[in-house]
């Protein structure tokens, strides 16, 4: 049985030190590339609209995630409110922009992790964790003391600071970032992050250096590694071809990739001339073709079927 990496850190007494380092960063917050420099330890709020406590929208055994995460018993997803990216078209707009959810103490978040494990979930899947990873580490410390022993999935928009990612080395087992846009024009327009590509390129390299290619056990369950998500966007604005060539050439041609077909207008996307329609079957099939032409072979098989066979 593969043991999650954070258990080793805990046994060595290093997990507590990481918690202390991470929580110090809240004093003049620079957790993410926004670097708002607000005092979140005193409940001041910057771009992510989150103070000292993490806010949680929902948690459950999720069966709609990638095949190696779901297995038989589901992925134990925890959805955190707000986000450091806040895409205008977000399909979880009520959570990421409006902040639906409840503030929780570390002990409450730890209890959620243990509850998901007790349901036999294969992993703890942290959805939009970037802006609250110090609070997550506080909870993880308590959860480990009470028997948590399943892998941690870091499910993010990819907009990560290298300095803070390095604090997660040896803690995160599975990184699952999005690569949303290649062209800074679109990243600026929809995420107010013109540096998105440069940031994500560095983040992907650091994540892969930490965990390597995705490893799957004999039961088909992911235990460690990098899994990349990419949402195909209308009119090719995501830059799928360039993104897949980058992943294959500069990360690994053995990268596990989910080319996602489920874009639909959400949030303020209805008001945008490029985003106010779903993608077509042809747009999706071209995205898959570009992915394969780039040399990537490990594609998640659960996506695309309903679109390609839609009448």
Model confidence at 93: pLDDT above 90: no
The pLDDT value given to residue 141: 97
Average pLDDT over the chain, rounded to an integer: 94
Dist CA 43 CA 26 (whole Å): 9
Q: Is 5-308 in CATH node 3.30.450.20?
A: no
SS3 readout for the chain: CCCCHHHHHHHCCHHHHHHHHHHHCCCCCCCCCCCCCCCHHHCCCCCCCCCCCEEEEEEEEECCCCHHHHCCCCEEEEEECCCCCCCCCCCCHHHHCCCCCEEECHHHHHHHHHHHHHCCCCCEEEECCHHHHHHHHHHHHHHHHCCCCCCEEEEECCCCCHHHHHHHCCCCCEEEEECCCCCHHHHHHHHCCCCHHHHHHHHHHHHHHHHCECEECCCCCEEEEEEEEEECCHHHCCCHHHHHHHHHHHHCCCCEEEEECCCCCCCCHHHCCCCCCCCCHHHHHHHHHHHHHCCCCEECCCCCHHHHCCC
The pLDDT value given to residue 306: 47
Residues 233, 179, 217, 306, Cα dihedral to 10°: 0
Average pLDDT over every residue of 139-150: 98
Average pLDDT over every residue of 14-35: 97
Average pLDDT over every residue of 15-40: 97
CA 217, 240, 202: angle at the middle one, nearest 5? 70
CB of 56 closer than 8 Å to CB of 136? no
- Which pTM does this prediction carry? 0.95
Model confidence at 309: pLDDT above 60: no
The pLDDT value given to residue 1: 54
Those residues with Cβ within 8 angstroms of residue 152's Cβ, 6 or more apart along the chain or in another chain: 4, 6, 123, 124, 126, 140, 171, 172, 173, 174
> How does pLDDT run across 183-197, given as a tens digit for each residue?
999 999 999 999 999
**Domain-wise residue ranges, the chain:** 5-308
Instruction: Report the percent of the chain where pLDDT is more than 70.
Output: 96
């Amino acid at each position: 049985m593969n043991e999650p990496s954070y258990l080793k850190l805990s046994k060595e007494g290093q997990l507590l030190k990481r918690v202390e380092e991470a929580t110090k960063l809240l004093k003049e917050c620079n957790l993410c590339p926004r670097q708002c420099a607000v005092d979140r330890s005193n409940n001041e709020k910057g771009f992510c609209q989150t103070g000292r406590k993490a806010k949680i929208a929902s948690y459950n055994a999720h069966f709609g995630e990638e095949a190696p995460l779901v297995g038989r018993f589901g992925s134990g997803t925890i959805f955190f409110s707000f986000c450091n990216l806040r895409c205008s078209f977000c399909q979880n707009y009520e959570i990421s922009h409006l902040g639906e959810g409840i503030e929780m103490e570390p002990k409450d978040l730890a209890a959620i992790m243990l509850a998901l494990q007790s349901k036999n979930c294969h992993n703890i899947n942290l959805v939009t964790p970037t802006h609250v990873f110090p609070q997550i580490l506080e909870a993880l410390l308590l959860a480990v003391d009470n028997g948590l022993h399943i892998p941690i999935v870091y499910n993010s928009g990819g907009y990560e600071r290298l300095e803070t990612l390095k604090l997660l080395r040896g803690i995160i087992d599975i990184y699952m970032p999005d690569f949303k846009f290649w062209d800074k024009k679109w990243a600026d327009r929809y995420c107010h992050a013109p540096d998105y590509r440069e940031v994500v390129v560095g983040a992907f390299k650091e994540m892969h250096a930490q965990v390597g290619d995705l490893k799957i056990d004999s039961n088909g369950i992911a235990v460690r590694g990098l899994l990349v998500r990419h949402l195909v966007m209308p009119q090719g604005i995501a830059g799928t071809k360039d993104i897949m060539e980058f992943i294959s050439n500069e990360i690994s041609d053995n990268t596990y990739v989910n080319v996602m077909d489920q874009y639909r207008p959400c949030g303020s996307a209805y008001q945008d001339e490029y985003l106010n329609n779903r993608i077509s079957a042809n747009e999706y099939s071209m995205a898959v073709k570009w992915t394969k032409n780039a040399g990537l072979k490990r594609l998640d098989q659960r996506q695309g079927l309903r679109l390609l066979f839609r009448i």
